[in-house]
Structure 1
Amino acid sequence: MALFSSPPQSICILRLSAIGDACNAIAAVQAIARQWPETKLTWIAGVAEARLLSPLLPNVEVIAFDKKAGWRGMRDVWRVLNGRRFDALLHMQTAIRASALSLGIKARYRLGFDATRVSDLQQWFTNIKVPSPDSLHVLDGFMAFVETLGVNPAPANWTLTLPEQDMIWANSVIGESPTLIVAPAASKAFKNWTAEGYAAVIEHASQRGFNVILAGGPGKTEIELGKAIERLLNTDVSNLIGQTSLLQMMALEKKAALVIAPDSGPAHLANAVGTPVIGLYAHHNPARTGPYFWRDYVVSVYEQAIADETGKTPAQLAWRTRVKDNTAMNRIPSEAVISTFDRLIEEKELQP
C-alpha cells in the first residue's frame, strides 16, 4: 500500500556514495519530481557525489556530507537540518556510517531495505521495509522505494542537462569524429581489466575508424594503468586520465559514440546520458550492478568465477555475493570484448 495518496511536503534522500549508485538513484529521485513537482526534495550525499549532483539537479537541495570529518561531518549535516522534519526519509545506503547519520534526520516514515537486501543492521534504523523487486538491479531496488511512497510505476529514466561550459569543452576535445571513451580503472584496483586487454581492443577500434580517449580519475592506480596501456599501443590515443572533473567526464561520454569501462562510476555516468556502454565484469553480478540500459552488452565472467569459488550459481547465493579472487578480471579474453564491440557498433549503427 502506498504511503502517500497526495504529494508529501518534503522527502529526504540518504545515499552518500558511490558515483555509480548516485547515478542510479538520480532516476528514482527524478521519478518523484516528475509526479510531485511541488514536493521539496533534499539529498544528502558524499562530497564528490554532491559536487556532481548539485548542477545536475537544480531543483533538489543537495547537502554534502564529509565522511573524512567523522562525527564533525555528521554534526555539520545535522546543523543544516536542525528544526526540520521530513514526511519521509529514503535511507538508500546500508553502511553503518549512513545509519548513524540518519539518527539526526527527523522523518515520519523511514524507508529502508527489506531482509533480502539489508545489511549492516540498517533494519534497526528504519520503520518501513521496502519490498525487494524481482529484478536484481540496484536501480530497480531504488525505484521500489519511490513506488512505496506512492509514485506510479514507470520505466527508469534520466533527464539531465549538463553545464554549458562542460559541453563546450567536450565538443572541443572530441570534434565530429566518432570517439570511443575507454575509462579503464575503477576505484578498487581488483575491478580493473588488464592493460594488454585494453590495448588490444583500442587497436581494433582504431582500425575500425574510431578515435580513442583514455579517461578517468586522478588516483595513482588510474594514472598508472593509463600509462601502461599507452606503452602497449601502436596507435595514437588522447590520455586525459586525471585531467577532468566528473562533469567533464560526463560531457565527454555524452558526446562519445560509446564507452568501455569496468564496474565503475564512468560506466553509470555514460548510461545516465544515454551513451552505449560495454561493461567489464568479474567480481559483481552485472544483473545487479551493470550499466542499466546496456546489460546486453556486458562482458562478464562472474557466473563462471563465482561457480569456481563457491560451487553455486548466482541464484543460489545472497544478493551481494561477490567474487573474492583479486585476479578474476584476468579471465576476460580480449576477443570477447572485441566481439561485443563489433556487435554493438553494428546493432546501434555506430560505424564511422
Structure 2
Amino acid sequence: MSALTSVLVVRLSSLGDVLFAVPAVQHLQRSGRAGHVAWLVEDRAAGLLRELVPLDELLVFPRGRRSAWPAHIAALRRRRDDVVLDLQCNLKSRLQRIFLRAPRKLGYARPIAREGGERGLTESFSPSPHCRHRVDCHLAALSMLGVEPPSEAPRPELKIPRETRARARTLLARAPGSGPVVVLHPGTSAFGQLKRWDPARFAALGSALASSHEARLIVTGGPGEQALVAGVLASLGRRALAVPPEGLTMLAALLAESDLLVASDSLPLHLANALGTPVVGLYGPKDPAITGPRFDRSEVLTAGVACSPCTLRRCSDRLCMRRLEVDDVGAACARLLAEPRA
C-alpha cells in the first residue's frame, strides 16, 4: 500500500479528548503510512499540542475570534490533503470538514458520531462492541487508513524540557512534609463543573494523607479556579503548597515529578496517567469505561448510584459525587502509594 502524502486529523476539543487522540496520531506517524500528519484543533486546546506533542503541522480554529474565521476558512479551502480523519464527528467538526477538499473524508458512524457528524463522510467506521475507551476507538479507527492498531494502547509521548522538570523538582521541594508528593486537583473545566468533588472533601483527604503518609501536599488549579484552590488551602493551612497556573508544560513537569494525583475527570487526571504518575480518578456523571484513565497505575472510584453515568449538563442533586467518601478515596491512595514506581 503506497504512502499517503498528507493526512489531516480533526479533533477540535476538549483538552482531555484531544489528549486521548494523541496515541492514535503518534501511531499513525510511526507507521510510515503518511508522509505528513497535520492536526486541526480549537484555539483553547491548541496549547496542549503546541507545548507537549511533536507534530508535523498544527492548524488552529480561532473559535474565540470570529473576525479570524474568514481567513481560517480560506486556509482550509486551500488544503489538498489525501485524507481527512475526523476523530470527533459532531456538528462542529462536520462544519470544518465542509471546507476541506480531500477526496477521502473518514470518521465514525453513529452512535459515536453525534449531531449529524457522520454526514458528508466518504467512509465511516464502527468500532467493535468491546472497544469502548476513546483511546482504543481512535487507534482502531486507523484501520480505515490500512494501519494495524497496536496490541496494547501506547502511552502518548510527551515532550517536557529537562530544565522545566528541574524547576518542578525545586518547587515541589518547598512542600511541607517528608513523604510522597500528592497532588490534589479540585477543579474541572467550567463546562464540566458537574464532575467536581466537594473541595472540603479534598481538604479532608489531604489531612488524612498528611497524617498517615507524611504526604507533601500540592494543590493545583486552572485559570479561574483560584477560589476553589483557596478553599482547599484554607482548610489545610500550612500543610499544603499551592501551585499557580503556569502553562501546560510546567503542569506536566509537576505531575511527572509527583507520586500521586487525585482528581475528577479532567485534563490533569489524564495528563498524569499518560505520564505514568499514579492517579485516583473520581467519577460520577461520566462513564470511566469511555473517558477514564486508560493506562496502568490508576484507580477509579464511583458511587455506584443508579443514575450514573448520565448525559446531564446540570443536576440539582449530584448524588454520584456526594456519595464518594473520603475514606474510600484515601484507601485507594494508600494502595497506589504502596506500589513501587517503575
Scaled by the length of structure 2, what TM-score is found? 0.89
Question: Which residue of 59, 62, 66 maps to 2:62?
Answer: 66
Structure 1 residue 113: Cα displacement: 1.3
Question: Which residue of 32, 36, 58 maps to 1:36?
Answer: 32
Instruction: Judge conservation of contact 2:195–2:285 (CA < 8 Å) in 1.
Output: yes
Instruction: Judge conservation of contact 2:127–2:137 (CA < 8 Å) in 1.
Output: yes
Structure 1 residue 172: Cα displacement: 1.6
Equivalent residue number for residue 206 of structure 2: 202
Between 92-101 and 198-207, the greater mean CA deviation after superposition: 92-101
1:117-171 Cα offsets, whole Å, 9 max, x none, are 1111111131211112322211112112212212122122222221344223212
Structure 1 residue 193: Cα displacement: 0.4
Equivalent residue number for residue 249 of structure 1: 251
Distance 1:76 1:275 in 2: 41
Q: Output the amino acid matched with 2:239.
A: D
Structure 1 residue 291: Cα displacement: 1.2
SS in 2 for 1:283: coil
SS in 2 for 1:214: strand
**Residues 1:295 and 1:324: Cα distance change in structure 2 (over 3 Å):** farther
Distance 1:202 1:77 in 2: 46
Structure 1 residue 84: Cα displacement: 2.3
Distance 1:84 1:148 in 2: 21
Q: Matched residue pairs, number?
A: 329
Tell whether 2:72 aligns with 1:77: yes
Instruction: State the Cα RMSD in Å.
Output: 2.2
SS in 2 for 1:115: coil
Question: Which residue of 144, 152, 156 maps to 2:153?
Answer: 156
Equivalent residue number for residue 169 of structure 2: 171
Structure 1 residue 234: Cα displacement: 5.0
1:43-90 Cα offsets, whole Å, 9 max, x none, are 0112232222123333421111111224x4443333334432112111
Between 203-212 and 53-62, the greater mean CA deviation after superposition: 53-62
1:207-261 Cα offsets, whole Å, 9 max, x none, are 2022111112111xx22221111122255211124x3211211111011111111
Equivalent residue number for residue 110 of structure 1: 105
1:75-110 Cα offsets, whole Å, 9 max, x none, are 333333443211211111233222111211221221
What 5-or-longer segments of structure 1 have no aligned partner? 308-313, 315-319
Distance 2:148 2:126 in 1: 15
**Residues 1:98 and 1:295: Cα distance change in structure 2 (over 3 Å):** farther
Distance 2:121 2:34 in 1: 25
Q: Show the 5 A alignment for 1:123-142.
A: 123-133=118-128, 134-142=130-138
Equivalent residue number for residue 261 of structure 2: 259
1:311-338 Cα offsets, whole Å, 9 max, x none, are xxx7xxxxx7458535231121111101
Between 182-191 and 161-170, the greater mean CA deviation after superposition: 161-170
Equivalent residue number for residue 326 of structure 2: 334
Structure 1 residue 305: Cα displacement: 4.1
Tell whether 2:220 aligns with 1:215: yes
**Residues 1:145 and 1:67: Cα distance change in structure 2 (over 3 Å):** same
Instruction: Judge conservation of contact 1:285–1:322 (CA < 8 Å) in 2.
Output: no
Structure 1 residue 294: Cα displacement: 4.5
SS in 1 for 2:82: strand
Question: Which residue of 49, 55, 65 maps to 1:53?
Answer: 49
What 5-or-longer segments of structure 2 have no aligned partner? none
Q: Output the amino acid matched with 2:292.
A: G
Instruction: Judge conservation of contact 2:7–2:34 (CA < 8 Å) in 1.
Output: no
Question: Which residue of 263, 275, 278 maps to 1:276?
Answer: 278
**Residues 1:160 and 1:151: Cα distance change in structure 2 (over 3 Å):** same
**Residues 1:273 and 1:31: Cα distance change in structure 2 (over 3 Å):** same
Between 284-293 and 141-150, the greater mean CA deviation after superposition: 141-150
SS in 1 for 2:239: coil
Instruction: Judge conservation of contact 1:54–1:61 (CA < 8 Å) in 2.
Output: no
Instruction: Judge conservation of contact 1:277–1:294 (CA < 8 Å) in 2.
Output: no
Structure 1 residue 296: Cα displacement: 5.4
Equivalent residue number for residue 85 of structure 2: 90
Q: Output the amino acid matched with 1:35.
A: S
